[in-house]
A and B are shown apart, each in its own frame.
Chain A
Amino acid sequence: MTKAKIEICGLCKTFVSSQKKTSGITEVLKDINFVIQDGEILCLLGPSGCGKTTVLNIIAGFQKPTQGEVLVNGKRVERPGPDRGVIFQEHGLFPWRTALQNILFGPEMMGKKGSETFSLADQYIDLIGLRGFQNHYPHELSGGMQQRVAIARVLVNRPDILLMDEPFGKLDAQTRATMQVLLLDVWEKVRPTILFITHDIDEAIFLGDRILVMSCHPGMVIKEIEVKLNRPRDYEITTSPEYMDTKRTILNLIKGMTQDQSCGAELKTNG
C-alpha cells in the first residue's frame, strides 16, 4: 500500500568552474534515480563531497538540476515550499527571535496568527521537549536545543516531507544519540517522509528504513540496502545480529570503494 512520495529521475548536476587551469566542468551528480515511499525514512549515506547535499538542495528547490527532474507527489519541483521542511546542519534559527518566535515564523508567513497557531506551536514545543525554553534566544540554547527548535519550526508547518542535511553532525555523541531517538519518536507520532543525509554509518542504520550508499566524483548511488530492524527502535538494537550484518555489508562496500577511489575512507564508523 505504499506509494511514491518523491521520485528522483535521472538527476545530473554539473558545475562549470571559472578557473581556467583546472578542467572547466565538474560532474557532481551522475544519473541519480531513486524513489522515496510515503512515510519512510530514507538515509543517503556518503563521504563528504559526494554530492548528497546537492541532491537535497535540488529536492528542496534551492538548486536546479542540469538534467533530470524531481517529482514530489507527482508534481515537478520548481521552488522551495513549506511542504518540504529543511533542517540544516547549522540550525539556521533567526538570532533575533526567541525559540517560540522562530517556531511561529512559518505560520506568520502564511498569514496565520491568533490563538490556534499558538496552541499548535505549544503542541510542538511539548512534542520536541522544549518546554521552559520557549522564550530563550538561540544563542542561549545548547546545540541540541537549537536543533530541536529548528525541527519544531519546520514541523509546525505540517510538512509531509522532512529533508534533513546532517542535522546532528555538529552535536556531541551523547546529544546526537538523544536526538536520534527523539527524531524516531517524532516520526512515529507525525509520520512524515524523511530524507536523512549523513556520513555516519551507525546513524544511517539506526534511523533508516532503507539506505542509499553514494560514491563520489561523480556522485552516484552505488547500492541500496534495506534495514530489516523492527520499529520502534531503541539503542538495544545496535548490538543485534541484524544490525551487525547490515553494518558489515556497508563496511565491505566501502572497502571496495576505497580500493577504487580515495574518497570512501572518509565515511564515519564508530567501531
Chain B
Amino acid sequence: MNKSKVFYDNPYLVYVFSLLLFFGGWFFLASRTIPLFFPSPFLVLRAFQEMIKDGSLWGHIQISLFRILTGWAIGSGLGIPLGLLMGDIRFFKTMLNPYIQFFRFIPPISFVTLSLIWFGMGETSKIILIIYTTVFLVTVNTIAGVMSVNPIHEQGARCLGANRVKIFTRVIFPSTIPFLLTGMRLAMGNSFMTIVSAEMIAAEKGLGFLIFTSRLFMQTERIFVGIVTLGILGFVVDGLFRFVMQKFARPYLFFFKEK
C-alpha cells in the first residue's frame, strides 16, 4: 500500500494537473478580453480544424520543416569539420576564431534583407539564414569537444602505436561526438527561432509566413496556430533527435559518465 502516497509522486498526474492549470488560465484570461486581443483555446482549436481541413497547415509545416532541416543539416555539415579543424590545429583556430566570436553575436534577423538581396526570393535565402544560425553553435561546441579530449587517451593511443591521423580519427573525433551532438541539438532550437524571421519577407508559405500574414488580416487565432505548431514541432523533432542519438551514438555518450 506504499504506491503513490500523494498525487505529486505520479508524474502523469502532475502533467494532467499542469495542463489543466495552463488551459484554465488561458480560458480565464481569454474570457476577460476580446478574441482579437487574446483568443480562447476553443477559437484556436477551431482555426486549427479549418487549416487542417483545407490542407494549408500541412503545407506550411512541410515547407518550414524542409527549410529548417536542410539548413540545419548543411550548417552542421560545415560546422563539424570546421570545429574539428579549429580545435585540432592552432593555426586555423587563431585565423578563424575572431570571426566566429564576432558573428556569433549577430542575430540572423539582421541578415534577412541582405540574404534576400544576395540570394534571391527563392529557397536559398531562407536556407542560408538557417545555415548561419546553425554553423556557429556547432563549430563552437565541436571546438570545446576537441579541447576537452582526455590527454591520457591521447597518450595511451600513442603508446599503442597510433599515428597522428589515427589519433584524430580514433580518439579525438569519438571524444568530440557528445559535444557536437549537443551543439546540433542547440542549433536545432535556434533554427526553429530563425525560421520565423527567415519567412518574414518574400515567402509564400511556411509557419513564419503564417504568423506574419495573419497579423495583416487580424486573425489572431491563426497567429496562435502558428506559434503552437512551432512549439509542438520543435518538441517532436528534438525528441526524435534524442532518440536517434541514444540509438546510434550511445557508447559515445558514456563520456559523460566517466567524468
A63-108, CB < 8 A from B: 79-82, 84-86, 88, 90, 92, 94-98, 105-106, 108
Are B156 and A92 neighbours in the complex by a CB distance under 8 Å? yes
* Per-residue contact bits, chain A 129-143, to B (CB 8 Å; 1 contact, 0 not): 000000001110000
Q: How far is the CA of A96 from the CA of B173 in the complex (A)?
A: 11
A86 touches B257 (CB 8 A): no
B22: Cβ under 8 A from any A Cβ: no
B216: CB under 8 A from chain A?
Answer: no
Interchain CB contact under 8 A, A96 and B251: yes
Tell me if A96 and B252 are in contact (CB < 8 A).
Answer: yes
Q: Determine which of A81, A82, A94, A154 lies in contact with B174 in the assembled complex, contact meaning CB atoms within 8 Å.
A: A94
Cβ contact within 8 Å between B155 and A86: yes
> Does B254 lie within 8 Å of A96, measured CB to CB?
yes
Take A109-B161, A154-B160 as given contacts and tell me if A92 and B152 are in contact as well, using a CB distance cutoff of 8 Å.
yes
Residues of the A chain whose Cβ atoms lie less than 8 Å from the Cβ of B177: 96
For A84, the chain B residues whose CB sits under 8 A away are: 159
B161 touches which of A88, A110, A138 (Cβ 8 Å): A110
Cross-chain contact A109 with B254 (CB below 8 angstroms): no
A-side contacts of B150, CB under 8 Å: 92
Q: Is B51 an interface position by the 8 A CB rule?
A: no
| Contact of B159 with A109 in the complex, beta carbons under 8 Å | no
Please name 8 pairs of A and B residues whose Cβ atoms are closer than 8 Å in the assembled complex, sorted by A: A61-B158, A79-B158, A95-B251, A96-B254, A105-B157, A108-B170, A109-B160, A137-B251
B215 within 8 A of A: no
Residues of A within 8 A of B152 (CB): 88, 90, 92
Q: Interface size on A (CB < 8 Å)? A: 29
Closest Cβ of chain A to B8, distance in Å, is 33
Known A92-B153, A97-B251, A98-B251; 16 more pairs at CB < 8 Å: A61-B158, A61-B159, A79-B158, A81-B161, A82-B159, A92-B152, A95-B257, A95-B258, A96-B251, A96-B254, A108-B170, A109-B163, A137-B251, A139-B258, A154-B159, A157-B161
Which residues from A are CB-within-8-Å of B174?
94, 96
Contacts of B170 in A (CB 8 A): 105, 108-109
Question: Which residue from A86, A97, A110, A138 sits with its C-beta under 8 Å from B159?
Answer: A86
**CA of A92 to CA of B166 in the docked complex: distance in angstroms?**
17
Q: Which A residues lie within 8 Å of B166 (CB)?
A: 109
Cβ-based interface call for A118 (8 A): no
Cα-based distance from A216 to B155 in the complex (angstroms) = 25
| Residues 130 to 183 of chain A near chain B (Cβ within 8 Å) | 137-139, 153-154, 157
Rounded to whole angstroms, the CA-CA distance of A70 and B73 in the bound complex is: 51
Least Cβ–Cβ distance between B192 and chain A, in angstroms: 30
- For residue A15, CB closer than 8 A to chain B, the reply is no
Interface residues of A (CB under 8 A from B): 60-62, 79-82, 84-86, 88, 90, 92, 94-98, 105-106, 108-110, 137-139, 153-154, 157
Question: Counting CB contacts under 8 A, is B162 at the interface?
Answer: yes
For the complex, is B255 an interface residue (Cβ under 8 Å from A)? Answer: yes
Count of interface residues, chain B, beta-carbon cutoff 8 Å: 23
CB distance B153 to A94 under 8 Å? yes
Contacts of B156 in A (CB 8 A): 86, 88, 92
Which of B160, B171, B252, B255 gathers most chain A CB within 10 Å? B160
Pick the residue among B155, B162, B163, B255 that contacts A95 (CB under 8 A). B255
What are the 6 tightest A-B residue pairs by CB atom distance, in nearest-first order? A82-B161, A92-B152, A109-B161, A106-B160, A80-B158, A96-B251
**Given A86-B155, A94-B153, A105-B170, A153–B160 Cβ distance below 8 Å?**
yes
Taking a contact as CB atoms under 8 Å apart, the answer to whether B157 and A109 are in contact is: yes
Task: Pick from B158, B174, B252, B255 the residue with the most CB of A within 10 Å.
Answer: B158
Interface residues of B in 201-259 (CB under 8 A from A): 251-252, 254-255, 257-258
Q: Which residues of B contact A95 (CB under 8 A)?
A: 251, 254-255, 257-258
Q: Which positions 136-173 of chain B face chain A at CB distance < 8 Å?
A: 150, 152-153, 155-163, 166, 170-171
Shortest beta-carbon distance, B247 to chain A, in Å?
15
* Chain A residues within an 8 Å CB radius of B162: 105, 109
B150 CB, nearest partner CB in chain A, Å: 7
Which residue of A is nearest B174, CB measured?
A96
User: Measured between alpha carbons, how far is A105 from B174 in the docked complex, in Å?
Assistant: 14
Residue of B nearest to A150 (CB): B156
